[in-house]
Chains A and B, each alone.
Chain A
Amino acid sequence: MRVMLDNELKSIHVDIIKMGTLIEKTIDETINALVDHDVELAQRIVEGDDRFDRMELEIESKCINVIARRQPVATDLRKLMSILKIVTDLERIADHCQDISKLTLDLAGKTYVKPLIDLPNMAKQVKNMVKMTIDCYIDEDVEKGKLICADDDIVDDYYDMIFADLENIMKENPKEVRQCMDFMMIAKYFERMADHATNIAEWVIYGVEGKHFDINE
């Protein structure tokens, strides 16, 4: 019995890693499409989002099967619950890649109001966080998880800075309000991705330690 449970847990574990790795790659592509005005790439990202929805459904259904048939307890149960929460956050991150790419398409052909400097830096920071999150999940590394939670502040600072910049541009140049609003949304989507990465790290910590971690406590 234990062997069967172990095999099923392993299979779900591998699915999460696959999904996470694919999302990391998608974040990279999202940044590249935005910076390089790459319409084709943005289009591919928008169309590719279905994959993540399917992966989420499959992982959820595997988890439900294990709970129904094996009645896991203790660490096994906590890990399954963590995975059920993590997969939702991963899927949301993928959704935001799609959201950003839709705006990239919207911005296509327009000259950006200013060179993109902070936004790509923010995006890289977010991508690093997501990458660390996947590593933290694979290694069940509680300390790394806590670092990720702390890193969320860096992303929040970027967001505040970009927000203030865009506000100034809009005041000085009301014609570019539409474009600034697009960038505002993009910054917000990246900021939300970092929040989801933080959630994932918190669920990894819960799975390992059995208690919830809150950076503010």
Chain B
Amino acid sequence: MSKQIITSEEYVYDVQGLNLWYGSDQALNDINMKINKNEVTAIIGPSGCGKSTFIKTLNRMIENIPIVKTSGEILYHGKNIFDKSVRVEELRTTVGMVFQKPNPFPKSIFENVVYGPKIHGIKDKQVLMEICETSLKSAALWTEVKDRLHDNAYGLSGGQQQRLCIARCLAVQPDVILMDEPTSALDPIATAKIEELINRLKSEYTIAIVTHSMQQAGRISDKTAFFLMGELIEYDGTEIIFSNPRDKRTEDYITGRFG
């Protein structure tokens, strides 16, 4: 019953009055925003504006930094992720993350993809192989690596490594994929592949992506959030943000007047 309610929701996250401090420095200030299901939400803003902090808060990865304090609520499918009953490992299974630099494990391609499922107790070789194939296909990497699944992942190119990391993230069947500048270390062709992949994945997943490239936000996202000095300045349809933003500060940033 509750599952049905969840699937009929329009948004996955509902962030309410979120504040965050690193020690005494406030990095996020009263953030309120909803992240829509099956959409790509881009988060843009100059360095130090809090966009990476924000995205890392969505799966509580930010808590790895001991001095972090938060207040406010992040409702994920209606449930506050800071609630004591929420198990952070479970949250990070359903909310996967892909980082700026590809970070495969020093293992084979196969072992990289099935690492998560194995930890979750799946031992059947056949099942693991199926998961590996499905995940690599979803990450648009299968045809390139299917004949060398047991080669070390470090032998792949940067773009392939990043798609492998996406495959690894997909293998545990997440619901949301957070991406922190996933293409900033890649060349334009590898970038284009990742962007096509993001566009394809959104029919099944909800994606939030931090990007320094305004053009990338314009190309791939449905909604764009502009952060500045820890505040959410403007959040709207990407077309509106890039054609007729309401706030002067958004206009100044995207037209390169500061930043």
Q: Which of B218, B242, B244, B251 gathers the greatest number of chain A CB atoms within 10 Å?
A: B244
Q: Is B245 close to A, CB under 8 A?
A: yes
Q: Is A48 close to B, CB under 8 A?
A: no
Q: Is B2 close to A, CB under 8 A?
A: no
Mostly, the B contact residues are: helix
Among candidates B244, B245, B255, residue contacting A72 with C-beta atoms closer than 8 Å:
B255
A75 to B251, CA, bound (A): 8
Q: Is B64 close to A, CB under 8 A?
A: no
Within 222-251 of B, Cβ neighbours of A (below 8 Å) are at 242-245, 250-251
Asked whether, in the complex, the Cβ of B244 is within 8 Å of the Cβ of A78, the reply is yes
Category for how many chain B residues contact A: 10 to 19
Q: Which residues of A lie under 8 Å from residue B244 when comparing CB positions?
A: 74, 78, 210-211
- A136 → chain B closest CB, angstroms: 20
A48 to B254, CA, bound (A): 42
Q: Is A114 close to B, CB under 8 A?
A: no
User: A73-B243, A74-B244, A77-B243 in contact; A2/B251 too (CB < 8 A)?
Assistant: no
Within 56-96 of A, Cβ neighbours of B (below 8 Å) are at 71-78
- With both beta carbons as reference points, the residue of chain A lying nearest to B245 in the complex is identified as A74
Q: Which residues of A lie under 8 Å from residue B255 when comparing CB positions?
A: 2, 72-76
A1 to B254, CA, bound (A): 13
Q: Which residues of A lie under 8 Å from residue B121 when comparing CB positions?
A: none
Q: Which residues of A contact B (CB under 8 A)?
A: 1-2, 5, 71-78, 210-211
Q: A1-B256, A75-B251, A77-B243 given; name 7 further pairs at CB < 8 Å.
A: A2-B257, A5-B256, A72-B255, A73-B218, A74-B244, A74-B245, A211-B244
